[in-house]
């Protein structure tokens, strides 16, 4: 079976390398894309989509189907990691680590001892990251809100400049992961539970696909954002701009949630009891 798989990979790789010779040279002004697609997008993107940034207009409007399925693939990646790694029933570790908050003293509680689960004075910590670093914890706590504000700016401003849902979603997800690394996995899960990440990932994809479905049900083409004009109370051109912002928001929610969801499972080998 391994030999068959290796043979398949080699054959597919050779075919791909042979076909690359037929591609146009990088930056070739006579390539089909340069002669037909690029001139149209540069000349008509603002008129068609009311978006001054051509890249955003291409990704979310002219190539809206592709971007929607890219978001779906991200959700599929999160589901794959969940089904492969997630362990539903886990054995409690033989020893558990807690930190005495007022003194920053680390305590190792062996199996059979009483655990201060509901205590506000003792906080459970990951055994892999036992030492308490005041500078690291304080710095990360201070910069995480600014990271999240910047992520929201990228999402909100993305439909008028380079950036948008994917970039903003990654930055927003990174802020949650930074919390898990600088403090512990439990702190991150307390702020954003696994069920919440799953729900948010599905909602993000639903926002994108739902916008297209609304246009189809209204009798227009799927993802024809001009359909939103009657709902938003604006003209059709501006409705396209607002529609791009809506789907970019859906993309950001899905990317952020899946990114955090995957980290939860990868960092804890699917147990979600202790992280990196």
pTM metric for this prediction: 0.77
Residue whose entry in the numeric block shows the structure tokens 């930190």: 99
CA 163/CA 55 separation, integer angstroms = 9
- Could you state, in order of their start, the residue ranges of all structural domains in the chain? 46-89+132-267
Predicted local confidence at residue 8, as pLDDT: 92
pLDDT tens-digit readout, 235-246: 887 888 888 888
The mean pLDDT value for 28-49 works out to 81
The mean pLDDT value for 174-195 works out to 87
- Is the pLDDT reported for residue 91 higher than 70? no
User: Which letter, b or e, does each residue of 94-103 get, where b requires 16 or more Cβ atoms within 10 Å of its Cβ?
Assistant: eebbbbeeee
pLDDT tens-digit readout, 100-138: 777 767 777 777 677 777 777 777 777 666 566 778 888
Which residues of the chain form beta strands (DSSP E)? 95-100, 105-110, 122-125
Please, is 43 exposed, middle or buried when counting C-beta atoms within 10 Å of its C-beta (0-12, 13-18, 19+)?
Answer: exposed
The mean pLDDT value for 224-251 works out to 85
Predicted local confidence at residue 163, as pLDDT: 65
Whole-number percent of the chain with pLDDT over 90: 25
Predicted local confidence at residue 64, as pLDDT: 85
Half-sphere exposure for 205 (CA within 13 Å, toward CB): 17
């Amino acid at each position: 079976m391994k030999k068959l798989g290796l043979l398949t990979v080699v054959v597919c790789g050779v075919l791909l390398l042979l076909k690359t010779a037929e591609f146009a040279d990088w930056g070739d002004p006579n390539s089909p894309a340069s002669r037909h697609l690029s001139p149209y997008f540069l000349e008509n993107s603002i008129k068609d989509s009311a978006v001054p940034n051509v890249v955003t207009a291409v990704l979310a409007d002219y190539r809206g189907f592709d971007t929607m399925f890219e978001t779906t693939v991200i959700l599929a990646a999160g589901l794959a990691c969940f089904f492969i790694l997630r362990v539903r029933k886990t054995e409690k570790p033989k020893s558990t680590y807690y930190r005495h908050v007022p003194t920053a003293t680390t305590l190792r509680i062996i199996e059979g001892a009483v655990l201060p689960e509901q205590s506000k004075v003792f906080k459970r910590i990951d055994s892999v990251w036992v030492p308490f670093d005041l500078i690291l914890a304080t710095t990360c706590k201070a910069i995480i809100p600014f990271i999240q504000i910047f992520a929201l700016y990228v999402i909100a401003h993305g439909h008028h400049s380079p950036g948008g849902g994917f970039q903003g979603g990654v930055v927003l997800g990174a802020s949650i992961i930074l919390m898990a690394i600088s403090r512990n996995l439990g702190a991150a899960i307390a702020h954003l539970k696994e069920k919440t990440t799953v729900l948010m990932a599905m909602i993000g994809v639903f926002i994108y696909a739902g916008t297209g479905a609304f246009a189809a049900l209204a009798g227009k083409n799927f993802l024809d954002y001009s359909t939103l004009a009657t709902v938003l109370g604006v003209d059709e051109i501006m409705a396209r701009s607002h529609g791009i912002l809506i789907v970019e928001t859906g993309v950001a929610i899905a990317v952020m949630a899946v990114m955090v969801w995957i980290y939860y499972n990868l960092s804890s080998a699917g147990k979600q009891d202790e992280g990196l």
